[in-house]
């Protein structure tokens, strides 16, 4: 990349982070929901042993990575909402006429959304540890990598959808309709081994399954799919959504 492209990436990322710092209510809202899941669902079902869970692995221990992933996914997806508001206020037009590639714009926005999501994910992780969840210390770095991949995938997908929408109110509704079923079918709430064969097939077709499973495997040492397969698919998903976002931006109009 040229210096102008790198500067565009930096500015897009910095702008998104600043918007996040100023919108503290959004941070609180994105943290409260997964925290309540951990506090009530995780603690309430803590003594329960689900089919497929290894001996000694409590439900809170299993649920914590899923709730972190959910927080990261929702925070990242809603980064696409900024595209709609930028179109409303004319900022998107200025960005699109700039002498930089659309890919650098997408990468900058993706890095900004991923940075915000990573911060929120770490906060939820700390909350889970406080509530009693155990984590694999040696897997912290791989877990952070998977968390970043989850954020990249979700931001890229959110941007790809948002660039075609003009109604800010439609985006959250569409994201909830798309993401809530995907999260429930991604092993965030229950292990892959505990479901029927037909549901397991659907879960294998769900991209989020590999992202959540890889994150859990890194953080807890328990995964239903080999981590190498999770990582390979996660990298492919991130590359695909980033390329899709750049393509959609190249065909968009302010």
pLDDT single digits (tens) 3-42: 766 776 777 777 767 777 666 666 676 667 677 767 666 6
Q: Full-prediction pTM beyond 0.75?
A: yes
Residues 6 or more apart whose Cβ sits within 8 Å of residue 250:
102
Nearest CA among 109, 82, 51, 40 for reference residue 168: 82
Helix pair 24-36, 59-77: axis angle to 10 deg: 150
CA distance 116 to 146: 15
Q: Tokens in use for 252?
A: 């968009």
- Between CA 166 and CA 81 the distance in angstroms is 10
| pLDDT digit string, tens, across residues 200-219 | 889 899 999 999 999 988 88
Structure tokens at 87: 């179109």
Q: How far, in Å, CA of 176 to CA of 158, rounded?
A: 11
Q: Work out whether the CA dihedral 209, 210, 213, 215 comes out positive or negative.
A: negative
| Listed residue (36, 20, 215) closest to 119, CA to CA | 20
Output the six-digit token pair for 14: 């910095």
Give the pLDDT of the chain (254 residues) as one tens digit per residue.
567 667 767 777 777 677 776 666 666 766 676 777 676 666 656 556 666 666 666 777 788 888 888 888 887 777 777 777 766 666 666 666 666 666 777 777 778 777 877 888 888 888 777 777 777 787 888 888 898 898 888 888 887 887 777 777 777 788 778 888 888 888 888 888 777 888 888 989 999 999 999 998 888 888 888 999 999 999 999 888 878 877 777 666 54
In 3-state terms, what secondary structure has residue 139? helix
Instruction: Write the DSSP assignment of 153-200 as a string of letters.
Output: HHHHHHHHHHTT---TTHHHHHHHHHHHHHHHTTTSSS-GGGS-HHHH
| pLDDT score recorded for residue 63 | 80
pLDDT at residue 231 in the model:
92
Total structural domains in the chain?
1
CA distance 117 to 134: 22
The Cα 151–Cα 158 span in angstroms is 10
CA angle at 239 for the pair 233 and 241, rounded to the nearest 5°? 100
For residue 176, the enclosing domain spans 3-250
E-state strands within the chain: none
Q: Rounded CA gap, 126 and 118, in Å?
A: 12
Query: Distance between CA atoms of 154 and 211, rounded to whole angstroms?
Result: 11
């Amino acid at each position: 990349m040229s210096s102008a492209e790198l500067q565009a990436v930096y500015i897009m990322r910095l702008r998104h982070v600043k918007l996040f710092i100023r919108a503290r209510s959004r941070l609180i809202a994105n943290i409260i929901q997964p925290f309540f899941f951990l506090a009530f669902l995780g603690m309430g079902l803590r003594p329960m042993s689900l089919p497929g869970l290894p001996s000694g692995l409590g439900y809170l221990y299993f649920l914590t990575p899923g709730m972190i992933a959910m927080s990261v996914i929702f925070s990242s997806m809603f980064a696409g909402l900024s595209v709609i508001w930028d179109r409303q206020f004319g900022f998107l037009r200025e960005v699109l006429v700039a002498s930089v590639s659309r890919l650098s714009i997408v990468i900058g926005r993706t890095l900004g959304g991923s940075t915000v999501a990573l911060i929120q994910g770490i906060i939820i992780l700390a909350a889970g540890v406080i509530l009693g969840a155990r984590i694999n210390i040696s897997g912290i770095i791989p877990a952070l990598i998977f968390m970043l991949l989850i954020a990249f995938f979700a931001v890229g997908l959110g941007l790809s959808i948002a660039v075609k929408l003009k109604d800010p109110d439609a985006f959250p509704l569409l994201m909830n309709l798309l993401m809530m079923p995907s999260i429930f079918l991604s092993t965030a709430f229950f292990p892959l081994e505990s479901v029927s064969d037909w549901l397991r097939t659907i879960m294998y077709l769900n991209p989020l399954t590999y992202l959540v499973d890889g994150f859990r495997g890194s953080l807890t040492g328990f995964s239903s799919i080999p981590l190498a397969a999770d990582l390979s698919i996660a990298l492919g998903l991130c590359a695909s959504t980033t390329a899709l976002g750049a393509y959609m931006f190249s065909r968009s109009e302010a």
